[in-house]
Copies of this chain bind each other. A is one copy, B any other.
Amino acid sequence: MSKTKVKAYGAKASDAALEELQIKRRDLEPNDVKIRIDYCGVCHSDIHTVRNDWGGSQYPVIPGHEIIGTVEAIGGEVSGFKVGQTVGVGCMVDSCRKCPSCREDLEQYCEEGLVGTYNGKDEHLGGHTYGGYSQQIVVDEHFVLNIPENLDLKATAPLLCAGITTWSPLSHWKIKEGDKVGVIGLGGLGHMGIKFANALGAHVVMITRSEDKAQDAKDLGAHDVLISTDDKQMKEHANSFDFLLNTIPVKHDMNPYLGLLKRDKTMVLVGAIEPLEPLHGASLVLSRKRVAGSLIGGIKETQEMLDFCGKHNITCDVEMIDMQKINEAYERVTSSDVKYRFVIDMDSLN
């Protein structure tokens, strides 16, 4: 069986040197969609994987899991997509489809382990999967998303990771009109958290250490800004939040934020997956508070999020780059110097 070779951009070794590569994509299988990639967002996870920060990276790494493209061909049994249609691919390209999580449309929690869009186990070609920093991808239609036609396509790419990562907890925890929602941290995730919480009718408070992010947060839809290093402000907001979306991507102290929650309310972690500063039992016990985690979202809820975005005209704030500028973009992501997501124009690979 012949395999399509496509040009891709990736890290060949753990020193994160990114260079052009030729990679194979599988031939169309009956349920597959072949997608020409138009745009791909740059997620902090790409950098962690390229740099093997979490261990387990398999080289060459072709990163990219915020993919927007155009259907070039479909397998004989594909029913949901047609050639020429704009589609998206997010963080997963497969899962077991049989476990309780998969059966509940929560493929991200697949009990056999989801197949990541990159650095996952490739059951078709062997080896590992290659992501969206490339010209083309072939994906089972179950993991392909419809992109609403009215949206600015360049700015939809990060919805596939930053978008769903913040949407899923807001949806799961049933955020509704009038809830006081705090979004902690203003980056790729945080800026989408603000937009979604605002569109859901919540009273949105941006919680940040940086006074200079206040105006940006308000422009994005925050009704109020709470400077977390200001003890007076923190006291004024104590025990007042219905929900906290914690997007801080690094080790931090959760205890001051927990003091902001009402009794029985929840802070959800979506950013940091490393060991955090010690949690004080009292921060939870004294008012029956909760800390939970949340990982991206299932395919069904990703489509719901995209449809919601179409209806409310929500996209990400992005800065477009050519593929050749990726190392520079990585440096800027690492130093939080982007508002709020880089998106690669894949034309630059041609």
Task: List chain A positions with a Cβ less than 8 A from chain B.
Answer: 101, 106, 109, 111, 172, 239, 254, 263, 266, 269-295
Contacts and interface: CB of A to CB of B under 8 A. Distances in A.
B266 A276 contact: no
Contacts of A278: 275-279
A295 B291 contact: no
Given A276-B279, A278-B275, A294 B285 contact: yes
Among A111, A254, A275, A289, chain B packs the most CB atoms within 10 A around the CB of A275
A285 B269 contact: yes
Given A285-B293, A286-B295, A290-B293, 6 more contacts: A271-B281, A275-B280, A276-B278, A286-B293, A290-B292, A291-B292
B270 A285 contact: yes
4 interchain residue pairs of minimum CB distance? A284-B293, A285-B293, A275-B278, A273-B282
B293 A281 contact: yes
Contacts of A290: 266, 290-293
28 contacts: A106-B263, A109-B263, A109-B287, A111-B239, A172-B288, A254-B279, A266-B290, A269-B281, A269-B284, A269-B285, A271-B281, A273-B280, A274-B280, A275-B280, A275-B281, A276-B279, A276-B281, A277-B278, A282-B293, A284-B292, A285-B294, A285-B295, A286-B293, A286-B295, A287-B295, A290-B290, A290-B293, A291-B291
A14 to B, nearest CB: 21
A111 B276 CA distance: 29
A298 to B, nearest CB: 11
A288 B281 contact: no
A2 B254 CA distance: 50
A284 B283 CA distance: 17
Given A106-B263, A109-B263, A281 B292 contact: no
A292 B289 contact: yes
A83 to B, nearest CB: 37
A41 B269 CA distance: 40
Nearest to A100: B263
A249 to B, nearest CB: 10
Contacts of A292: 284, 288-291
A106 B277 CA distance: 30
B293 A263 contact: no
Contacts of A285: 269-270, 273, 293-295
Contacts of A254: 279
Contact of A283 (B101, B271, B293): B293
A254 B293 CA distance: 14
A166 to B, nearest CB: 13
B281 A274 contact: yes
A277 B239 CA distance: 25
Contact of A279 (B263, B279, B282, B288): B279
A193 B101 CA distance: 29
Contacts of A281: 269, 271-276, 293
A172 B279 CA distance: 22
